[in-house]
Amino acid sequence: MPKLDGKVAVITGASSGIGEATAEALAAEGASVVVAARREDRLADLSNRIEEGGGRVLAASCDVTDEGQAHGLIRKAEEEFGRVDILVNNAGVMLLSSVGKGLSDEWRRMFDVNVLGLLYTTDAAIETMKRQGGGHLVNISSVAGRKVTRDSSGVYAGSKFAVGAISEGLRQELLQDNIRVTIVEPGAVATELADHITDEDARESLGGLLNLEILQAEDIANAIVYAVTQPERVSVNEILIRPTQQP
């Protein structure tokens, strides 16, 4: 029997990359999935694929930086499927640049999406999960959430260090409520993430890393499936996963 039969998972940032692969992987394990992002056409394609494979899916347009929309997402999931067992806080942006170039709009976007967006959806989901008697929060951080490795990544790393601190705080706050918290810290993964970088120097400094054999989105999805399919007594707190050749 699929390991997540009867479970409901909400995945933010499901219109591409890691979120998309995670939605497919959780659906393949039997979970009903709510796929959320801003690009509705991409969510529609993903939903069709999941349904064609026999899965249950709801596409929900959601900008996680809007607190009302983030709460609405969890509400919609509960209305459609009756509960929320797993929330994968995956939506994120990586607008690498060095400070001193006046790119404050990009810093704000990173903290709005990577940190506040995660908090808004989590805030809403905790209420539901406590009422149900348990749940699982999976927060996607980065190797950059443990270590600052290049001069253009300080602000992005700051947002991901915040994800680490918030996740550990949540773990301690929620353990009595049977809500597990897992933080996943990928190294370089082949997705659209780097395409949005506007600072040419930052883009160039990433080049070497992207020339290695980097991870595929499915590699991270597999790690998430591992964490959420453990017995309830097992809380996988942290998964750090790099391409073999990444320094």
Q: Which residues bind ligand NDP (CB under 6 A)?
A: 12-19, 37-39, 62-65, 90-94, 113, 117, 140, 142, 186, 188-189, 191-193
Among residues 26 and 94, whose Cβ is nearest to ligand NDP?
A: 94
Alpha-carbon distance 181 to 93, whole Å?
21
* Least Å from the CB of residue 241 to ligand NDP: 9
Alpha-carbon distance 91 to 120, whole Å?
12
Alpha-carbon distance 200 to 163, whole Å?
26
* Catalytic residue flag (residue 226): no
Selecting among 21, 156, 174, 181, the annotated active-site residue is: 156
Nearest to 14 by CA among 74, 69, 59: 59
* Least Å from the CB of residue 200 to ligand NDP: 19
- Looking up tokens 């805030």, which residue turns up? 123
* Least Å from the CB of residue 222 to ligand NDP: 14
Alpha-carbon distance 12 to 127, whole Å?
18
* Least Å from the CB of residue 78 to ligand NDP: 19
* Cβ neighbours around 166 below 10 Å, total: 19
Among residues 55 and 117, whose Cβ is nearest to ligand NDP?
A: 117
Alpha-carbon distance 170 to 173, whole Å?
5
Among residues 5 and 226, whose Cβ is nearest to ligand NDP?
A: 226
Among residues 37 and 57, whose Cβ is nearest to ligand NDP?
A: 37
Alpha-carbon distance 130 to 140, whole Å?
22
Among residues 38 and 71, whose Cβ is nearest to ligand NDP?
A: 38
Backbone angles phi, psi at 198, to 5 degrees: -100, -20
* Least Å from the CB of residue 195 to ligand NDP: 7
Among residues 13 and 55, whose Cβ is nearest to ligand NDP?
A: 13
* Least Å from the CB of residue 45 to ligand NDP: 12
Residues 6+ apart with CB under 8 A from 148: 154, 157
CA angle 115, 50, 66 (to 5 degrees): 25
Query: Beta strands of the chain (E only): which ranges?
Result: 8-12, 32-37, 57-61, 86-89, 135-140, 179-186, 238-241
Q: So which residues are the catalytic ones?
A: 156
